[in-house]
Amino acid sequence: MTTLFIGLGKMGGPMARQYAAAFNTTLYDVGPAATQLADELGVRALETLDTVPEEIDTVILMVPNSRIVESIMLTGDRLLEKLPEGALVIDMSSSVPTSTQMLAARAAEHGIGYVDAPVSGGTAKAVTGQLAIIVGGEPTAVERAMPHLEPMAGSILVVGPSGSGHAAKALNNLLSATNIAAAAEILTISTKFGIDPAVMVNVLNASTGRSQATEVKFPKHILTGTWDSGFGMDLMIKDLGIARDLAAETGTESPLTATTFEIANTARETVGGELPDHTELARYYELRNDITFTPSQ
């Protein structure tokens, strides 16, 4: 049997490479990425999803958002109608938990298993097949999904029922974005006080203020002025919106969530450009305060 891997962008491309080494794989993307990668890997690419080859029994999705997942599964390409009973769908995109719950229920009506398995670790861990994979779903479907996740995983964390993987992922990204904003803010103050940003990052990383933002993002993508983490700011803002909605739906008083969401949206307007990197949240602080975190040569 064969897996249809849909969405071959910055994450899906390297993930599909790892996956195709372990399972029979057919590729699909609305852009040219599927045919290019299929040629390289010597596997089949579909040009449309009008008909689904009968050997497909598993689908993996790695697309930008829930609107697109819903379009592929339900409203546009209508894969739920085209897949055989007993098929398994694994949505590895960072999707909206309530949409995932709805799709899992619709999939169950067709006798199809549906698992949410979003990832953390960025393009670097996608390339090495060491992503943290955060899993939600009905236990039998989760058990069936496990071997499919292993080729891409450094760790697999089962969270709970359908949608809980997607909820946990959005909340992780809320904390990650909040850490970048908080670090950028204190780095701005220290820079204005006259402390070299690289020295201040070293201080934080030897002290209690450290986070993945200060240990990885500042040294690799921000102090270098390269803004090249590979995770787009628009995707981060999408995740922050999911987290903000989760806070509202759970009736949680969450001033920090609202503030991070607002800072990220203002940063998006300020930095401009077609596809800014999410680390440009720190560039917003540079632009607003007329400073730079990049050491002069």
125, 169, 217, 238: the active-site residue: 169
Spell out a b/e string for 122-160, using b for 16 or more CB atoms within 10 Å of the CB, else e: bbebbbebebbbbbbbbeebbebbeebbeebbeebebbe
Pair 5, 28: CB distance under 8 Å: yes
Closer of 71 and 205 to ligand NAD (Cβ): 71
Contact between 96 and ligand NAD per CB under 6 A: no
Closer of 71 and 270 to ligand NAD (Cβ): 71
Is 169 known to be catalytic?
yes
Closer of 76 and 111 to ligand NAD (Cβ): 76
Closer of 77 and 190 to ligand NAD (Cβ): 77
Of the candidate spans 25-33, 38-46, 144-152, 178-186, the one that interacts with ligand NAD by CB under 6 A turns out to be: 25-33
Q: How far is the CB of 10 from ligand NAD (least distance, A)?
A: 4
Position of minimal CB gap to ligand NAD: 9
Site string for ligand NAD, 117-156 (x = CB under 6 A): --xx-xx---------------------------------
Q: Which of 101, 99, 93 is nearest to 70 (CA)?
A: 99
CB contact set of 8 (below 8 Å; sequence gap of 6+): 16, 27, 29, 31, 33, 34, 37, 62
Of the candidate spans 3-11, 109-117, 135-143, 215-223, the one that interacts with ligand NAD by CB under 6 A turns out to be: 3-11
Structure tokens at 143: 């058990």
Contact between 32 and ligand NAD per CB under 6 A: no
CB contact set of 183 (below 8 Å; sequence gap of 6+): 204, 209, 211, 213, 214, 218, 282
Write down how long the chain is: 297
Contact between 31 and ligand NAD per CB under 6 A: yes
Chain positions 153 to 212 lying near ligand NAD, rule: CB under 6 A, are: none
Chain positions 211 to 230 lying near ligand NAD, rule: CB under 6 A, are: 230
Of the candidate spans 64-72, 104-112, 141-149, 209-217, the one that interacts with ligand NAD by CB under 6 A turns out to be: 64-72
Tell me which DSSP letter residue 295 carries: P
12: number of CA atoms within 13 Å, CB side? 28
Question: CA 178, CA 181: separation in Å to the nearest integer?
Answer: 5
| Torsion 213-215-221-222 (CA) sign | positive
H/E run at residue 19: helix 12-20
The size of the interface with ligand NAD (CB under 6 A), counted in residues, is 28
Question: CA 27, CA 236: separation in Å to the nearest integer?
Answer: 26
Given candidates 46, 63, 96, 103, which one binds ligand NAD under the rule CB under 6 A?
63
Closer of 77 and 150 to ligand NAD (Cβ): 77
Q: How far is the CB of 208 from ligand NAD (least distance, A)?
A: 27
Extract the runs of DSSP E, i.e. beta strands, from 76-190.
Answer: 88-91, 113-116, 119-120, 131-136, 153-160
Q: Which residues are catalytic?
A: 169
Q: What is the binding site for ligand NAD (CB under 6 A)?
A: 6-12, 28-31, 33, 62-65, 68, 71-72, 93-94, 119-120, 122-123, 230-231, 235
